[in-house]
């Protein structure tokens, strides 16, 4: 059985990961693959040099490997998702086994950027969130989870994150089958995605109460 592949794109800290997690609870047999796992390995470069790399540019990602993995799962084969360390700015030696499932969610900044990846997606979702909201969320996350300082987060955001969103992420909204808000309660955006899927995949038997709720 071929996995129904759902792409979830949007700017940094727009709510992509949370939406993906919410969808896992609503869709039977769902796995998540993060584009962040596919940052190119630069272990041969000194740590201080790695920190200077523009990680907000599409070229920093090994999208070709992800494309190979999506081709594999589309053919009913498992693959090994890389594990990336944001603290070390490097890909680790570990991997995470992804088995073919009814639904596979691929979430990340540039999921809708490359034509080859877009062609692999059965449903394309874009999460739209105001830049100021995105910045505050990223500031909180990077300090708490990725060992960054508030100053380094602000500097990176203005130097690469915001320009990259304007150049490479915002324009991909036009490729989406569905645009949802990352600022409204995730119950609403999750409901919208499931409602859209219910008409495209007969493996999904949605809850009537869930789809008609106005919460």
The pLDDT tens digits for 4-40 are: 999 999 999 999 999 999 999 999 789 999 999 999 9
Question: What is the pTM (predicted TM-score) of this model?
Answer: 0.86
Residue 182 has pLDDT above 60, yes or no: yes
Looking at residues 184-202, what average pLDDT do you find?
86
CA dist., res. 127 & res. 170, Å (int)? 10
Residue 207 has pLDDT above 50, yes or no: no
State the pLDDT at residue 201.
Answer: 55
The 3-state DSSP class for residue 206 equals coil
Query: Where is pLDDT greater, at 51 or 112?
Result: 112
Q: Which residues pair with 81 in a beta bridge?
A: 96
CB atoms within 10 A of CB 197: 23
Q: β-strands 103-107, 30-34: how paired?
A: parallel
pLDDT band at 54 (very low <50, low <70, confident <90, very high): confident
Tokens of 161: 């994150």
Architecture per CATH, 4-209: 3-Layer(aba) Sandwich (3.40)
User: Which helix (H) or strand (E) covers residue 127, if one does?
Assistant: strand 123-128
Among residues 179, 177, 184, 188, the alpha carbon closest in space to that of 210 is found at: 188
Among residues 55, 38, 47, 56, the alpha carbon closest in space to that of 87 is found at: 47
State the pLDDT at residue 106.
Answer: 98
CA dist., res. 156 & res. 152, Å (int)? 6
Among residues 111, 127, 115, the alpha carbon closest in space to that of 7 is found at: 111
Listed in sequence order, the DSSP H helices in 11-50 are 16-26, 47-50
State the pLDDT at residue 142.
Answer: 86
User: Which helix (H) or strand (E) covers residue 92, if one does?
Assistant: strand 90-98
Tell me the per-residue pLDDT of 93-130, one tens digit each, with 9 for 90 and over: 999 999 999 999 999 999 999 999 999 999 999 999 99
The region of weakest confidence among 20-34, 60-74, 161-175, 198-212 is 198-212
Q: β-strands 103-107, 123-128: how paired?
A: unpaired
pLDDT band at 1 (very low <50, low <70, confident <90, very high): low
CA angle, residues 175, 181, 187, in degrees to nearest 5: 120
CA dist., res. 153 & res. 208, Å (int)? 43
């Amino acid at each position: 059985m071929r996995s129904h592949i759902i792409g979830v794109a949007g700017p940094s800290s727009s709510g992509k990961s949370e939406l993906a997690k919410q969808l896992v609870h609503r869709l039977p047999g769902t796995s998540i693959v993060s584009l962040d796992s596919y940052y190119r390995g630069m272990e041969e470069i000194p740590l201080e040099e790695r920190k200077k790399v523009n990680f907000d540019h599409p070229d920093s990602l090994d999208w070709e490997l992800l494309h190979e993995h999506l081709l594999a799962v589309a053919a009913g084969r498992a693959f090994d998702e890389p594990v990336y360390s944001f603290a070390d700015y490097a890909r680790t030696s570990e991997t995470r086994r992804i088995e073919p499932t009814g639904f596979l969610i691929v979430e990340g900044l540039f999921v809708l950027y490359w034509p080859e990846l877009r062609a692999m997606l059965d449903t394309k979702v874009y999460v739209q969130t105001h830049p100021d909201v995105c910045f505050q969320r990223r500031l909180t996350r990077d300090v708490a989870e990725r060992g960054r300082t508030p100053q380094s987060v602000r500097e990176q955001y203005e130097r690469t994150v915001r320009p990259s969103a304007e150049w490479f992420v915002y324009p991909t909204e036009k490729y989406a089958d569905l645009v949802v808000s990352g600022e409204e309660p995730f119950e609403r955006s999750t409901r919208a995605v499931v409602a859209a899927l219910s008409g495209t995949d007969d493996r999904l038997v949605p809850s009537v109460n869930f789809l008609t709720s106005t919460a």
